Structure 1
Amino acid sequence: MENWGIIGHEHIIRFLEKSIVNQRLAHAYLFYGLPGLGKKPVAEKFAERLLGGEIGQSTEIYKLEVLEDKKEIGIEQVRSFRRALSLKSFTAAFKVGLIYEMEKLNQESGNALLKTLEEPSPKTVILMIASDWQKLLPTIVSRSQLVKFLPVPKKELAKALQSKVASASRLKEILNLAQGRPGLAVPLAQEEQFFENFRQFERLIFEVLKSPLDKRWQILDQFLEKLPDLKAKAKAAFNFLNQLEAALRTILFKNYQLDLLGGQEPAVKLSTPKLLRLFQLTGVAKDYLNSNVQPRLILENLFLNL
């Protein structure tokens, strides 16, 4: 299949394919970049190339990810992962460890994983995926082959999506919303309700950014009041923060004359120093969410400082 069936990232796929052909594989790879760029599908296709078949049909793939009722990857999960990778392979092929959301490792589980990276087993490749590599232990980063994912150019996204979209105007809007992220562009093109919800969410973000404080409190009340429980509110708050970061990034790029909106102006203009401060505040808010602080308190504090 051409380019492994992936949208964009041809240079990364060529590099990984060449590593397989030349048998010059690293023991550990760290795929990092913004959410939605395509790190996960590339990692999974790379794993399939190493295993010689689909992931779901292989006994030599071992996954590590956050459990449904948890917020972090715990040390017992890592210990089980390490034991599985240390076992002898049932075949002559590779064993592959696939770790999603590396930033969800806590200090204890990160140190446990480090032992595996320091003492690699033969014919074992560990693929790690992270949106925020700066939250990882420096010793993990230094022992990994770093693979940086960048936004996919609009022309490549447009070519991949044009058969899925009814009109040129809708395609242009999807490209502007996706900002080079195939993982976002595809559902925007294929799911009408997702498209409408995402567009409304973007409008909400810009309304918050340009409104006075009293109006922000009203928006916050309307945003949270319909959500049934704390878990739903925490999820909504995290989605809000991700979308806010995307909006801030669009404005920042425009400040540096990098056009992600096809000639359109962002709905809000902010100075670069203020944007950098808001990025920092958003990161702090995410850390509080992961520490089980009440979502409303987190958003109130953020709205107060916008």
Structure 2
Amino acid sequence: MLLRGHDSVLERFRRTIRAGRLPSTFLFVGPPGIGKKSFALQLAQGLLCERQPEEDLDPCGQCPSCVQVLAGTHPDIHIVQKPADKNTIPIKLLIGEDDTRNREGLCYDISLKPFSGRRKFGIIDDADILGAGQGESANCLLKTLEEPPPKSLLILIGTSEQRQLPTIRSRCQVVRFNPLAESDVADLLISTGKCSDENIARKAASLSGGSLAKAIQWCDEAFLEFRAALFENLSQRDYDLPPLAKTVTSFVESAGKEAAEKRARMREVLTMGLQFYEQLIAALSSTSSSTAKDEALQKAVATTVRWWPGDAEAATYCVEICLDALAHVDSNANLTALAEWWLDELSQTARAGMVKV
């Protein structure tokens, strides 16, 4: 299992295990796509390895236990995450169906004795959702968090402490993960076969914000071409709204057949817009043209500064428009209508150079 960039976290776990003070519940927090789930699985693999001392957390990768972890078939590791077609983690995944309450689901599974290893592991991905209007699912976990079963280890994975319910956060040992270094991201793209061109890998890494998942997207030239085209349009005083809205919609639709794939793509588009206006604010608020590293964004911001009729406050309002649009994505808005609304609001603000009252 290939991990990079989290050596300090790994060493912290080694010290804790050697001291015999490994807690039973953890909350892993950090930006998406930086390897938190992969780290959780390597932790489990290291603790379950049949050949290496568990305090080394250096799994051999060859024993039956390690092979099962790598294959995702180890009977003592239970993973729960939001299904692709859902906005929540179904309660049945935590405590079973109505007719099998507390006799199925993650909380029940980790309460059983280990099947073949020394511990049972529960991993809950998308834990942020537990703090976003899904109180019933969160409450199901409280008893398990308060009284962890013997020989169990439960790991919740989210993006920040603030997005977790206080009752859950207070019962977990928080472990913070930092974004990966650009060099690590580029190396991982090459070593995992996600990208064969070193120049593209470095470019993707520079745009990733330290997220391997995002970098993999940026290895697709269609992403880079769309991003450059979007920035070029946003940098124009009067862009042609209908064609641009159609381009955005087509790009979103090309993400795949599933609604979740399209919504994830729409979030990426809106995040591009958010990045553009954040850089515009920086340029309008200082003597430098832009703090952006990449050429496409830097050029677009420099062009915009030359004609922008307002000040940083108007650009800040554009940031708020992007954030509002992101919130609508999560509330299942019609994506075509959302794209049209988003671009129209940005266009009106840019032309007026002021915040609408």
Q: Percent identity?
A: 26
Matched, 1:40 2:68: no
> What amino acid is the match of 2:44?
A
Structure of higher CA gyration radius: 2
Matched, 1:15 2:44: no
1:210 & 1:67 partners in 2: Cα distance? Answer: 38
Task: Give the counterpart of 1:296 among 325, 336, 349.
Answer: 336
Partner secondary structure for residue 178 of structure 2: coil
> What amino acid is the match of 1:179?
G
With a CA cutoff of 8 Å and minimum separation of 6, indicate the structure with the bigger relative contact order: 1
Partner secondary structure for residue 268 of structure 1: helix
Name the structure 2 match of 1:268: 301
Task: Give the counterpart of 2:123 among 98, 106, 127.
Answer: 98
Task: Give the counterpart of 1:199 among 211, 218, 224.
Answer: 224
Partner secondary structure for residue 234 of structure 1: helix
- Distance of aligned partners of 1:217 and 1:19 in 2 relative to their CA distance in 1, 3 Å threshold: farther
Asked if structure 2 preserves the Cα contact closer than 8 Å seen for 1:40 and 1:129, the reply is yes
Name the structure 2 match of 1:152: 180
Asked if structure 2 preserves the Cα contact closer than 8 Å seen for 1:64 and 1:99, the reply is yes
Q: Which runs of 5+ in 2 are unaligned?
A: 50-65, 96-104, 306-310, 347-357
Matched, 1:74 2:90: yes
Partner secondary structure for residue 149 of structure 2: coil
Matched, 1:122 2:154: no
TM-score by length of 1: 0.78
Asked if structure 1 preserves the Cα contact closer than 8 Å seen for 2:231 and 2:296, the reply is no
The aligned runs of 1:1-306 (5 Å cut-off) are 5-52=2-49, 53=66, 54-55=68-69, 56-79=72-95, 80-91=105-116, 93-105=118-130, 106-158=134-186, 169-185=199-215, 194-207=219-232, 209-212=234-237, 215-225=240-250, 227=253, 231=259, 233-245=262-274, 261=293, 266=298, 267-268=300-301, 280-306=320-346
> What amino acid is the match of 1:221?
K
> Please, which moves more after superposition, 40-49 or 168-177?
168-177
- Distance of aligned partners of 1:196 and 1:259 in 2 relative to their CA distance in 1, 3 Å threshold: same
TM-score by length of 2: 0.69
1:249 & 1:147 partners in 2: Cα distance? Answer: 29
Q: Deviations over 1:136-156 (max 9, x none)?
A: 212212222222222222344
2:243 & 2:341 partners in 1: Cα distance? Answer: 14
Asked if structure 1 preserves the Cα contact closer than 8 Å seen for 2:110 and 2:149, the reply is yes
- Distance of aligned partners of 1:168 and 1:21 in 2 relative to their CA distance in 1, 3 Å threshold: same
CA RMSD of aligned residues (A): 3.6
